[in-house]
Amino acid sequence: MTPVPDHVVKRKLRRLLKGEKPDVVDLFSGCGGMSLGFRDAGYNILAGVEKEDVRARTHARNFHPGDREAAHAKGRDITASSPEEILRDITGKRRPRVDVIVGGPPCQAYARVGRAKLREIAKSAKAHLDDPRGGLYATYLTWVEETQPVAVVMENVPDILRFGGVNVGELIARSLDELGYEVRYTLLNAANYGVPQTRERWFLIGIHKSVGVVPTFPEPTHYFDVPVGYRGTRGKAALWDRLPKEERPDHACPLPRPSEELAAAVSCEDALSDLPFLGEAFKAGLKRRARNLAVMQSYRCDAKNAYQRRMRGWTGFETKNGVTAHVIRALPRDYETFAQMEEGADYPKALEIAEKIFQGRLEKRRSKGERLLEGSAGWAKLWKAIVPPYDPDKFPNKWRKLERDFPSRTLMAHLSHDSYTHIHYDSEQGRTISVREAARLQSFPDGFEFCSAMNAAFGMIGNAVPPLLAWAIAAQLRCNLVAGTFEFPVFSHTHQISPVATTPTSC
């Protein structure tokens, strides 16, 4: 690969130092979580490149409404055409300028849940090593080589650091180093940056060496007690973290260590308590009601805290009276089980509750004279109408009820298939979360539109980078590029907003 020339980058940097917005291309953009964070931090989103049409349409609607929306809304295979051809087709410009490239190649090959699915399909224990999506980072590097940006940002799951026994993150960093970039990577948890979700992800920042700075990551603004499961994942992925500097991988940064003195992490209740109540009347009409994401529903109350005000008032996505996309799945078998589950309960507990509900119904019907012998057709029908069929030993984490005073567990793309992993904490509603609630937990503003059906909207939200986390990274990058102080508001648990300068982490 040919190193990016110093003079090209310096010419771009001089323009940025005069106050022009950096032009960003978001590769594998999805619906635009990374784009949204960067736009709000003062960048111009030149283009999002996304293979799936529905996600490309959503990105275009939110970032490029108007004359060129149709061009931006077209799904494109990043491996089928050159960067120049794709950008010319999207933007209508012969040679559009690119200052920053961001994005995350599809993570399914790296994520453990994705590996399992690949093994099932391919009947091979090493299927995840053969999945072409595992090599899409090479296409990302080709874009860097050809568009010659000042800086790059990558995001992926922590397992990219131990993919088939190889630290792919370090390989990517070394390739960018050869292209002329100073590179650092680490793991960040979204809950430490004001997102009501304990989402752990790998981030890499590269800045061209001619700029003369070492990339840094934003310091945490919020504190939460990391669950045991996340500690295990983090510890296995970031084996270097507690090693002396000379023993670490060349481009790895220590993990940020938030202080307990910081504001408490934004909780599920902080995030969701103002959204419309969806109780028995709503659920009863679900089968008759079209799940139309465009329908507006009034807010339950005025915004109660800074996070809710932010979600309603995000620049360019402001809302006043209510929200769209507040739709849920019809799950009549499970509503009573949901209501009886305690916050934080998982599938084995849910199954135990469902079986007790079944026994109660069975005894009531028998007391009325019905002959419902165990194993009979009537007995089986009642069982099926109440008790979920999953093996608790194989699927202990398939269900989980949110805890109102704690951030949500990670939202996954699997939400496109079911939402049992995110049962609403409010037992009076007794249901799984809505599309809008998933968006809130991912820190998408209420005015952000999802141009799809319900299942696809859930999937694109689960795949996205949380905009507030992207925003913190974008702000820190801008601080690095201008070698100054970039201020941005922090949303505290005490519902106060104060401008806080980013403080770089030490690598």
Any idea which residues carry the catalytic annotation?
Answer: 107
Q: What are phi and psi of 500, to 5 degrees?
A: -125, 125
3-state SS of 208-228?
Answer: EHHHCCCCCCECCCEECCCCH
Q: Decide: 448 and 318 in contact? Cβ < 8 Å.
A: no
**How are beta strands 487-491 and 497-501 bridged, if at all?**
antiparallel
Six-digit token string for 29: 């953009």
Q: Decide: 189 and 219 in contact? Cβ < 8 Å.
A: no
User: Own/partner pairs for 128-135, CB < 8 Å, 24+ apart?
Assistant: 128/163, 128/164, 129/163, 129/164, 133/105, 133/106, 133/108, 133/109, 134/109, 134/110, 134/163, 134/168
Greatest distance between any 2 Cα atoms in the chain: 89
- DSSP per-residue string spanning 397-428: TS-BB--TTSPBPPP-GGGGT--TTSB-S-TT
Q: Is 185 helix (H, G, I), strand (E, B) or coil?
A: strand
Cα distances (Å, whole numbers) of residue 238 to 134, 233, 337: 20, 8, 38
